[in-house]
Amino acid sequence: MKLLKIDGAIALVTGANRGIGRALTEALLSRGVKKIYAAARHPESLGSLRDVRAVALQLDVTDAQQSRAAGAKATDVNLIFSNAGITLNSELTSANVIEQARREMDVNYFGALQLLHEFSPILARNGGGAWVSVGSAAGLTNVPMFPTYSASKAALHSLTQCARLLLGAQGTSVFGVYPGPVDTDMVRELAMPKAPAREVANAILDAVESGQEDIFPDSFSREFGRQFESSPKASERHVAAMIAAMAAGSAA
């Protein structure tokens, strides 16, 4: 794997307006990127991001036309963080579970696939660079509280594995990120310890610079990652036990 330094890189972050994406954007700027394309569905939501190196980019990853426009503008990029994602907290028995599952898959999987399709040739022309796919530990072992979200992140994990094999031929390093609960709006109502987004972002960048292909950027995910690598079935049982304990605590 060819290592890439953050300092001097030209980066693009999707979902840069909040959560991990916002924390990544700020961390990249603090680490000396030459330029960063901060992409969001509504660029005005980038708000207080004031830096001459930051270029606001309108990008709904589910919109093919906007993806093509982003590719036409960000022709110099060599470090991409495919981060945009949603969770709709669908229950399998809810009336709109199919609709919500399709929306999650559209953003979390097809959006990433569309971005990869648009930008992998750009990375090749710019010497290879790096692609960082922000997934979830829930994509490795389904979390029953988020069943359809977990499924969409499992699809993203599969895409990341494929991209690593195929894009390696053009010199592109591909990283998969599998955080646990992070203190963002997405899981605000989840009653369990959450890692600060800023710490998670810096751990991701440290791992990218060191060439760590599978990134577990917080204490929960690091423990989970060790267990998953040892025994995927054991990690499934661990999640089941955790959910059961949480349910018992809420009922008490």
Active site residues: 149, 153
Q: 138-141 long-range CB contacts below 8 Å, 24 or more apart? A: 139/178, 140/178, 140/224, 140/228, 140/232, 140/235, 141/224, 141/228, 141/232, 141/235, 141/236, 141/238, 141/239
- In sequence order, the 6+-apart residues with CB closer than 8 A to the CB of 198 are 23, 26, 27
Q: What is the DSSP letter of 184?
A: S
d(CA 72, CA 2): 26
Residue 83's nearest CA partner among 126, 131, 50, 139 is 131
d(CA 110, CA 89): 19
In the numeric block, the tokens 């509280």 are attached to 145
Spatial contact of 224 and 126, defined as CB atoms under 8 Å apart: no
Token pair in block for residue 41: 């569905």
In the numeric block, the tokens 């980038």 are attached to 46
Residue 10's nearest CA partner among 64, 112, 81 is 81
